Structure 1
């Protein structure tokens, strides 16, 4: 499974972006997005922001689960209390069909399974904890891009740990 993670600020500006692949079940951690899809990742995530705004008012939760689907890509969302959005675009390892969702035990093959949702939620929670630590720096200003190599390595570690 390939992942594209982005933190979107309150003014719908990207604060952080990271692309990685699955490390679970023998994965090497490299994303498998095609070159054409790699260019569309930002567009797909930003196009789902309207849906995020609709869903955030109907749900009182921070973790909004899978909010949108674009072809074979799923978008999961986590909202912070300050209206910063964590978006994760994930592409299953195999095309999802009704028969494969019932028969497959691989987490990467079924993005809407309870195991996958729990793994994504744990990833978001750990990244959120690190995000709070990063923005508490006296040098950070609201809606400023996060350039910290420590934060990037912690996001990568959370991806390896949960996804």
Structure 2
């Protein structure tokens, strides 16, 4: 699974790759990191679909907005216009709850007076908490 938070200027603010044990073994065999580039490509190509979908609904959680082979792209839009995009397999777990908890963490980062709006999120604490909620909601 691949998570990216995209800012209002379509710039990546945060990226995270979460792999199951089987995916880790496959990633170790793939020395070039082609899977990471594929995930980035899939998320980037779905941005236009997310932009179109967000104006047609009042919901923040847009569900699955795009598919590429066996990869699905789910999206969540914050009121400020930031986009959470998750590239995953068909049955990732509870994506909506994951996005809601991620949104709460994202708001806490933005409340820091030293955080730049649309700036890259480099907080190690944020990274650790995102990995924790990913394990909680997306591992099963």
User: Shorter-chain-normalised TM-score: which range?
Assistant: 0.7 to 0.9
Q: Find the partner of 2:105 among 115, 127, 130.
A: 130
Structure 1 contact 20–30 (Cα < 8 Å) conserved:
no
2:55 match: secondary structure: helix
- Across the aligned residues of Structure 1 and Structure 2, the Cα RMSD in angstroms comes to 1.9
Matched pairs, number: 134
In structure 1, the partner of 2:78 is: 80
Q: Return the match for 1:40 from 18, 38, 41.
A: 38
The CA deviation at 1:9 is: 0.2
Give 4+ residue runs of structure 1 displaced > 3 Å after superposition. 27-35
The 5 A counterparts of 1:1-163 are 3-22=1-20, 30=24, 35-92=33-90, 107-108=91-92, 116=93, 119-163=94-138
CA–CA distance in structure 2, aligned partners of residues 71 and 37 of structure 1 = 13
TM-score (norm 1): 0.76
Task: Report the alpha carbon displacement of residue 37 of structure 1 after superposing the two structures with TM.
Answer: 2.2
The structure having more radius of gyration, on CA atoms, is 1
**Cα pair distance change 1:76/1:133, threshold 3 Å:** same
Question: In the aligned structure 2, how far is the partner of 1:73 from the partner of 1:31?
Answer: 18
What is the DSSP-based 3-state SS (H/G/I as helix, E as strand, rest coil) of the residue aligned with 1:48? helix
Cα-to-partner distance string for 1:45-74 (whole Å, 9 max, x where unaligned): 011110001111111100000000011110
Gaps of 5+ in 1: 93-106, 109-115
SS at match of 1:21: coil
Once the two structures are superposed, what CA deviation does each residue of 1:91-144 show, in whole Å capped at 9, x if it has no partner?
Answer: 34xxxxxxxxxxxxxx45xxxxxxx4xx00011111110110011111101100
